[in-house]
Structure 1
């Protein structure tokens, strides 16, 4: 399922342009040198990838606990269901119940840290802006984290989130270079595609967990994921 992570990130990036695009457009980049500007932008993306990979590590370890408990198929189905729910439940429902309230203090500190880094104009600040940006709450990142959870080990959890982050780079880089280059109408159409892709990926996780004996899509045995320490004799 790793292949889906990059594609999901690529599609999600159209949402990112609306949510995180303003951050990318306001980055304190050196506009006098194209080479330096590109290097600084890469530092920003490296910070985001570090945040996503760290989250992937945590959720990969959590997934390993499910794997050791013999719940890999059930977990894959649960992950698919949650991803589909994130896609079809209106965002205002999540805002109404404020599911992130338990970590509101942490989120406030992250936003405060972002503000401080924007006042600086050095390379470490650009990395930290990306790092803090990666930890801001986002429904599509949550959906990707469910995918990392289903990977059921730390290295694959890291890889899943890193690939997701790589998929978001092209559009956010374009936002940093070109500013608000997408018309509202075109952006609105792209927003309608994102839930569809999320549902498709969620469905793939459900099918994988069902073990329907369909090669590459729904293996019939319990070897749904790469196992560490495999016996290759």
Structure 2
């Protein structure tokens, strides 16, 4: 299932080209020194992945708590259904749900700090921009976090989000070096494919939870999860 994180990251990067791509292209990079530019870009990506990993740790801990509470049997099915719902519900609606009360103030603070970092050209500012960007609302990141929750382990939750973040790196780096590599028409076509691919990943989680005995895809219930209270008696 960890491989699904890498796949989800790659799929998300097409979405990110429209949402986070402008941020990547506006980064205060050194345009005269190629080696320095690459280093700065990787610091930005490292900041994003650090944010994803931190949240992945929290969701992994939450998943571990659900495992210990005995909710492991149907958790993967629920996560798969939520992933599909996230695709069906428009992202603007999701942002509207998050943008209320204290959360709205928090997001406003993050955006303000993000804007200030663009005025600097230090290595620290590039990392900070990536870190703050990683905490901004994004439907695809939500899907990845549900996957981290389904891992039911803090380390696996972190690993899931690291792989997700790495999956977004290639295309987001490409738009920095070759901004016009994809035409608007091509990007629109790709955007139409993303929901279908995301639904397929959601279905994969549902199949995993059903325990149909299909190797690697839907293993039996006995092999699906590590039991919270294993019976070691003879």
TM-score normalized with structure 1 length: 0.93
How far apart, CA to CA, are the structure 2 residues paired with 1:100 and 1:215? 42
Q: Distance in 2 between matches of 1:14 and 1:56?
A: 21
User: What is the aligned partner in structure 2 of residue 77 from structure 1?
Assistant: 77
Q: CA deviation at 1:158?
A: 0.3
Give distance in 1, aligned partners of 2:12 and 2:185: 17
Following superposition, the deviation at residue 91 of structure 1 comes to: 3.2
Q: CA distance change for structure 1 residues 220 and 18 in 2, over 3 Å: closer, same or farther?
A: same
**Does the 8 Å CA contact 1:13/1:171 hold for their aligned counterparts?**
yes
User: SS where residue 219 of structure 2 aligns?
Assistant: coil
The range that moved more, 82-91 or 158-167, is 82-91
2:91 and 2:138 in contact (8 A); partners too:
no
Which residue of structure 2 aligns with residue 143 of structure 1?
Answer: 143
Shift of 1:194: 0.8
The offset of 1:212, in angstroms, is: 1.1
Following superposition, the deviation at residue 213 of structure 1 comes to 1.2
**In the alignment, what sits opposite 1:101?**
100
Deviation, structure 1 residue 215 = 1.2
Distance, in Å, in 1 between the alignment partners of 2:226 and 2:17 is 34
- Structure 1 gap segments, 5+ residues each: none
Cα distance between partner residues in 2 of 1:41 and 1:225:
38
Q: Report what 2:215 is aligned to.
A: 215
RMSD of the TM alignment (CA)?
1.8
| Moved >4 Å (runs of 4+) | 225-228
Q: Which residue of 2 aligns with 1:201?
A: 201
Matches within 5 A, 1:57-76: 57-76=57-76
Partner of 1:178: 178
Show the 5 A alignment for 1:32-47.
Answer: 32-47=32-47
Shift of the 79–100 alpha-carbon distance from structure 1 to 2, 3 Å rule, reads: farther
Q: Distance in 1 between matches of 2:3 and 2:227?
A: 17
Alignment of 1:117-132 (within 5 A): 117-132=117-132
CA contact (8 A) 2:110 2:132 kept: yes
- Cα deviation per residue 1:177-225 (whole Å; 9 max; x = unaligned)? 1224321110011001111111111001111111111111111124324
Distance 2:127 2:99 in 1: 25
TM-score (norm 2): 0.93
Contact 1:17 1:171 in 2 (8 A): yes
